[in-house]
Structures are given as structure tokens and as C-alpha cells.
Chain A
Amino acid sequence: MSPLSSSLLNPRLSFSLKPLFLFSQSSFAPRKFQIPRQFVSAKRKTFSALASEQSSATDNGGRSGGGGRSGALSPSPVVEEVQRIDVNPPKGTRDFPPEDMRLRTWLFNHFREVSRLFGFEEVDYPVLESEVLFIRKAGEEIRDQLYCFEDRGNRRVALRPELTPSLARLVIQKGKSLSLPLKWFAIGQCWRYERMTRGRRREHYQWNMDILGLPEVTAEAELISSIVAFFKRIGITESDVGFKVSSRKVLQEVLRCYSVPENLFGKVCIIIDKIEKIPIDEIKRELNATGLSEEAIEELLQVLSIKSLTKLEEILGGAGEAVAELKELFSLAEKFGYSEWIQFDASVVRGLAYYTGIVFEGFDRQGKLRAICGGGRYDRLLSTFGGDDVPACGFGFGDAVIVELLKEKGLLPKLNLEVDNIVCALDYDLQGVAAEVATKLREKGQSVDLVLESKPLKWVFKRAARTNAQRLVLVGNTEWQKGMVGVKILSSGEQYEIKLDELE
């Protein structure tokens, strides 16, 4: 057995380096490339001289018994002074150690599977984009919190706050080569720069699904349908969540009655979106600042409080598009089988300037959480980038709120590491056979945790328990002489010997 218990090798941490002791190089590691001539003219040592120096310096000599290397680490080629680094990820960002990664993978697999079931194709774009893609002067929060900077070439770039502008850019780039309607999805990390006093995240992952080339409300209906499908897959029902639906055209119609110019629509919507976040007087004041009259503001706020499509129709009349489209959507929701999941709510405008029609957001019925997802129609985005407009609608669904919701409902899956086999050689010379067993099992699609060091059986069992291994395959001299290996099924305790070529 290789000696591994040198005090330098803490079983938990391979090194317990005390940076200050081992690496205090500052006395003889000048920062410049020149080293004192004394080193250069020192007498050249022979390799055997070196070897004996090493032997006396370590616990185990140059070599340990079994042919493996010595347990102690030889003084390393240390590269430089130690920098004490912060072991935490940058403020507002997350690491994903195995357990967190398993949850994320589980979630993303559901995103992908639903997208696949709905016939959407996956795409991706760079996380870094030109800042210009996100500069919309409508006063959106997304712009205030843009994570932008100058790159080494003095170009203004930004870590994307959302995926839709990149989609628009790629669609314009591809131009006529695309065949419509387009159904694309993406799962990408988005960033914002926010003052950390609020303890909020600076990055999150977002699942986006977009349909381009369809002006009909059936597109929005299909998108909401896909989110419903996703919720159902993970055990969330219409009693847990719902969708509030409205249309930007409602606001448009009210504002047009006051001849408010269209270029102000975006700004007005952004202000309205803050209704539940800042005091109503502040809202009124901001609306006034855009030039709206008191009368217009009053009417606007009244309309926004409407929670029934029938009432809306009374107010707006039946001739406008806002009511027609919303009625169409609710009718489709019946046909698509999810009318219990959606409700009209005129106060929903969403915080992005570019929505032009139906908008919706997923909410938690208990009212404890922020919006789970949000989306809508954005028929005019491409032209703002210099391209030809294409009718478009889509949604974004973040990875944070949904996890909080699942926790609330006790629906978080228990995901443990699970390995099919642990394979272990009981004798050092059988390492090769163990590797052969591992290879054979892996070729059959079974996962194998191959034990790569000499360990007592007790240790192997502990590891098997930790990794929820289904079975243990042991390669020992006695069995191997008969061409066999030992197998133990860990759940039942059953054990047997079997010929290597019969091992399944």
C-alpha cells in the first residue's frame, strides 16, 4: 500500500500549505528576470546528488514501495509569491458545486425538453455584446443597471442583460436565409450591475422562447401553452401560479386619445410598470414630466385598474385591436385547455420598452414572490436596429424565482450523485484488470468510479455509500486466478463471483 499518511497530506485537503511558511520567496525571488550571478556560477550538481538530497528531504525517499510516487510532495516548482485570494465568487455571482449544479441541470433539462416538445430549435449568442444593442432611451431599469465597460480596445461593450436584442441581431444577420415562422429558444446567462447593498444577484440564467414571423395571437397562445407545460412537468398547478395578461395596445389607445406622440409610449409604459414598486404620487409625477395632462393620467390609471375584459370592452369599445386581440387570446386559451391559468389584468405592462401588443407575466398566487416569467409581442424591435421588422413574440423565464417557488411548495427534487459501479483492485498488481473492468462497463454505458489508489475496503464501502453506487466490483487475486471478479449489489447485499466476460 502506498503510504499516504504523511502529515503533509491531510486526507481532506491534499495540501495544508501555510502560504507564509513554504512560499516566503520574497527574500530571494526578485521580480525582475535577473537572478544573482551566484546561482549561475554554482557548481553543477549531478542527478544522483540531487536524488540523495530529495531522499533525505522527504518521508519516503524517492520512491515508495509499490512503484507509486512518494506520498509527500516534493518541494514544488513554486511559481511565485502567494496571493491571498477571496475564495468567494465575485459579488452577486454564484458558484455551482456539484449539488447546485445537479439542480441547475435538472431545471435546464426541463427547459430544453419543453422547448423540444414544442418544436423549437436551440440557439446561443455571445454573453458579451456591443453596448449599443442595449441602449434604449426609455428609462428602463435594465439600462440603468447595464453591466457595461470599455474593453482593452476601448470599445464599449456589455455583458448582456437579456437575450432578445441578440436574437434580433442574429435574425437580421441571417436575413432572407431564414424560413418563417422561426421558433427559437435559448438558455443563457444574463447580467446586471446593481449596488450590492440590496444583496441581489448580478447574474441569472434565463430561458427564452421566441416565435418570429407570426402576427397572429396564436403565437402568444402557444408560448403561454409551453410555460404551462413546463409548470405541469415540475408539479406546479394553476392553484400555485397564474398568468396576468394585458396588451400594450390598451395604453396606446388611451394615450392616442390624448394625441400623445408614439415615441413616448415606451417611456410611459416603463413608468407604469413601476406601479407596485413606487408610490402612486411618484408615478403621477413622472407621467406628468413626460407631458401627459392630469386628465390623461387619471384616465390612464383608471383603465389600468380594470381586471375584467368585459369592463375593458365597455370602456374602449369593441372596435380597437386591444380588445379584439385579448378576446382572441382568451378564446384560444379555452381551446388550448389552460383558461384556468390566465386572467386579464390591465395593470400588466412589463418593463421593456419594445413590447407592442400582448404582454403577460407569470405570478405566484400566494403573492410572496416576484414575477416568475414575463413576455409579450415586440413587432418593431428589428427596425430599431436598422433591419426590416418581423412580427415577434417571446418570453424570458429566470432560474431564481422558480427555484424559490419550488422550495415554497416542497417540490424541489432530491438529486443525489449516483454512480452505477465502483470498481476496485484489492491488490496493487490488479490495477490493470480493474481498469479493464471499468472500460468494459463504460463501453456498455454504465458509469464507473474507478478506485485509483490502494484503499482499505472500509473506505471503499464508505465511498460507495456516498456516491449511491449500485454495485461494487472487486478485483482480488483469489478470484482473478479463476478469471473472475467479485460483485456486490449494495442495495440488497447480494454478492457473487462472475467471469469478467460475463459481467454485464
Chain B
Amino acid sequence: MSPLSSSLLNPRLSFSLKPLFLFSQSSFAPRKFQIPRQFVSAKRKTFSDLASEQSSATDNGGRSGRGGRSGALSPSPVVEEVQRIDVNPPKGTRDFPPEDMRLRTWLFNHFREVSRLFGFEEVDYPVLESEALFIRKAGEEIRDQLYCFEDRGNRRVALRPELTPSLARLVMQKGKSLSLPLKWFAIGQCWRYERMTRGRRREHYQWNMDILGLPEVTAEAELISSIVAFFKRIGMTESYVGFKVSSRKVLQEVLRCYSVPENLFGKVCIIIDKIEKIPIDEIKRELNATGLSEEAIEELLQVLSIKSLTKLEEILGGAGEAVADLKELFSLSEKFGYSEWIQFDASVVRGLAYYTGF
């Protein structure tokens, strides 16, 4: 048996090196490349000299019984002074040791499998993108917390906060070579820069599924269907979770009555999205700052409190697209078999500026 029980070989940790002792090089390791001439002109030792030096220095001699190496480690080619590093990952990020990795793999496998069952193809994009891709001036939280910086070539880049703009970029790049409808999915890490006082994460993985080339509501219905399928796979039922559904067109229709220009829609939606997060007076104030009249704001907030599609139809009338689209979706959800999972809720706007429908 190879001798392994040298006291230097703790079965848990092979060495207990005391960095200060072994590595206090400062006395003879100048930072510059020049070394004292004394080393250069020292008499060259022979290999056998070396071997005897090593034998006396270690417990087991140059070799252990079976031809394996000696248990003790010979003084190593130490590369430099020790840097005490922080053993934790950067603030707001996570390591995935085996147990955590197993859970993540389990989760991602479900994401992938559902995507596959729905006939979606996987894609990926760089985690680093030009900052320009994410600069939307609508006041979204995603923009305030953009993890951007200047690279070594002074280019403004960002660690992506979401995957959709990259998808759009790639679709534009591919142009006419793509055959529609496109059904693509991705699982990618997204980043934000947030003040760590709130103890929140700075990165997370996001599963995205997108359908491009279909104007019909059947696309949204299919997407919701895929999430229902995912929930069912992992044991979630409609008694635990549900989907609140509305349409940006509801807000559009209200705002158009007040001739609010379309370029403000995004901003208004972002403000509305904060309804459950900041006080209502703050919401009203921000809406006012965009130029909405008190009357418009009142009507908007009233409409947003509607939780029944029938009621919405009463208010908006049957002619607009908002109600038509929503009725279509609810009808499809019946046919697709998941009507128990979804409900209408006019207050849902979501926090991204670019949504145009659901």
C-alpha cells in the first residue's frame, strides 16, 4: 500500500500549509524580473544532489513503494504571493455546488422538454450585448438597473437584463432566411445591477418562449398552454397558481379617448405596472407628470380595477380590439382545456415598454 498517512496528508485536506511561512517571499522575490546575481553564478547542482536533498526533506524519500509519488508534496513552483480572496461569489450571484446544480438541471430539463413537446427550437445569444439594445426611454425598472459598463475598448456594453431584444436582433439579422411562424426558446442568464442593501439577486436564469410571425391570439393561447403543461409536469395545479390576463389595448383605448400621443403609452404602462408597489398618490402624480389630465387618470384607474371581461365590454363597447382579442383568448382557453387557470384582470400591464397586446 502506498504510504499515505504522513501527517502532512490530512485525508480531508492534503496540506495544511501556512501561507505566511512558506510564501513569505518578499525577502528574496523582488517584483522586478532581475534576481540577485548570486543565484545566477551559484554552482550548478547535479540531479543526484537534488534527489538527496529531496529525500531528506520529505517523509518518504523520492519515491514510495509502489512507484507512486511520495505522499508529501515537494516544495512547489509557487507562482506568487498569496492573495486572500473572498470565497463567496460576487454580491448577488450564486455558485452551483452539486446539490444546487442538480436542482437547476432538473428545472432546466423540464423547461427544455416542454419546449420540445411544443415544437420549439432552442437558440442562444451572448450574455454581453451592446448597451443600445436595452436603452428604451420609457422609465422601465429594467433600464435603471441595467448592468452596463465600458469595455476595454470604451464601448458601452451591458450584461443582458432580458432575452427578447437579442431575439429581435437575431431575427432581423437572419431576415428572409427565416420561415415563419418561428417558435424559438432559450434559457439564459440575465443580469441587473441593484443596490445590494435590498439583498436581492443580481442574476437569474430565464426560460423564454417566443412565437414570431403569428398575429392571431392563438399564439398567446399556445404560449399559456405551454406554461400550463410545465406546471402540470412539476405537480402544480390550478388551485395553486393562475394567470391574470389583460391587454395593453385596453389602456390604449382609454388613452386614445384623451388623445394621448402613442409615444407615451410605454411610459404610462410602466407607471401603471407599479400600482401594487408604490402608493396610489405617487402613481397619480407620475401619470400627471406625463401630461395626463385628472379626468384621464381617474378613468384609467377605474378601468384598471375591472376584473370581469363582461364589465370591460360594457365600458369599452364591443367594437374595439381589446375586448375582441381577450374574448378570443378566453374562448381558446376553453377549447385548449385550461380555462380554470386564467382570469381577466385589467390591472395587469407588465413592466416592459414594448408590449403591444397581451
Contact of A128 with B121 at beta-carbon distance under 8 Å, contacts A152-B147, A384-B83, A432-B334 already known: no
User: Is the Cβ of B76 less than 8 Å from the Cβ of A380?
Assistant: yes
B330 to chain A, nearest CB (A): 12
Chain B CB count within 10 A is highest, among A42, A320, A379, A448, for A320
Q: Mark A148-173, 1 if CB is under 8 A from B, else 0.
A: 11111101010100000010011011
Write the B120-135 contact mask toward A (1 if CB under 8 angstroms, else 0). 0111111111101101
- B242: interface (CB < 8 Å): no
- Of residues 197 through 226 on chain B, the ones whose CB sits less than 8 Å from some CB of chain A are 203, 211-219, 221-222, 225
Chain A contacts for B211, CB-based, 8 A: 452
Complex contacts, B67 vs chain A, CB 8 Å: 324, 327-328, 331
Known: A73-B215, A124-B95, A126-B94. A252 touches B248 (CB 8 A): no
Bound-complex Cα distance A401 to B261 (A): 54
Q: Flag whether B77 is at the interface (Cβ < 8 A).
A: yes
Whether the Cβ atoms of B129 and A217 lie closer than 8 Å is no
In A68-104, the 8 Å CB interface with B consists of 68-71, 73-80, 83, 85-90, 93-98, 101-102, 104
**A439 CB contacts on chain B under 8 angstroms:** 225, 229, 336-337
In contact, B80 and A263 (Cβ under 8 angstroms): yes
Would A123 and B97 be within 8 Å (CB), given that A130-B90, A261-B35, A379-B76 are in contact? yes
B310 within 8 A of A: no
Q: Contacts A41-B293, A253-B47, A292-B40 hold; do A432 and B89 have CB atoms under 8 A apart?
A: no
Q: Which residues on B sit within 8 Å (CB–CB) of A49?
A: 257
A339 CB to nearest B CB, Å:
16
- CB distance B17 to A389 under 8 Å? yes
Q: Assess whether B77 is in contact with A79, with CB atoms less than 8 Å apart.
A: no
Q: Does A446 contact B (CB under 8 A)?
A: yes
Residues of A within 8 A of B305 (CB): none
| Inter-chain contacts of A389 with B (CB < 8 A) | 13-15, 17, 73
0 or 1 for each of B137-163: is its CB under 8 Å from A? (1 = yes): 110000000011111110101010000
Assess the A256–B119 pair: CB atoms within 8 A: no
Inter-chain contact A291/B39, CB cutoff 8 Å: yes
Chain B residues, CB < 8 A from A331 = 67
Q: Answer whether residue A367 sits at the interface, using C-beta atoms and an 8 A cutoff.
A: no
B54 partner residues in chain A, CB cutoff 8 A: 319-321
CA distance A292 to B266 in the complex (A): 67
Q: Shortest beta-carbon distance, B95 to chain A, in Å? A: 5
Q: In the complex the two chains form, is B84's CB within 8 Å of A447's CB?
A: no
Given contacts A356-B76, A431-B218, A435-B336, contact A77 B356 (CB under 8 A): yes
Contact between B77 and A184 (Cβ–Cβ < 8 Å)? Answer: no
Q: Report the bound CA distance from A190 to B248 in whole Å.
A: 40
Interface flags for B331-358 (1: CB within 8 Å of A; 0: not) read: 1101111000000000000000110100
Whether A417 pairs with B121 at a CB distance below 8 angstroms is yes
B79 interface residue (CB < 8 Å to A): yes
Chain B nearest CB, measured from A212 CB (Å): 9
B259 to chain A, nearest CB (A): 4
Within 8 A of A (CB), among B1-49: 2, 4, 9, 11-17, 19, 22-23, 25, 28-29, 31, 33-36, 39-42, 44-49
Which of A131-139, A231-239, A402-410 lies at the binding interface? Answer: A131-139
Task: Name 4 extra pairs, CB < 8 A, besides A83-B135, A452-B222.
Answer: A40-B296, A78-B262, A86-B130, A389-B17
Separation of A47 and B320 alpha carbons in the complex (Å): 8
Which partner residue on chain A sits nearest B151 by CB separation?
A149
Assembly CA distance A447 to B185 (angstroms): 14
A47 CA to B97 CA, complexed, in Å: 57
B149 touching A149, Cβ below 8 Å: yes
Complex CA distance for A388 and B79, rounded to whole angstroms = 16
B78 proximal to A (CB < 8 A): yes
- Report the separation of the CA atoms of residues A80 and B118 in the bound assembly, to the nearest whole angstrom: 34
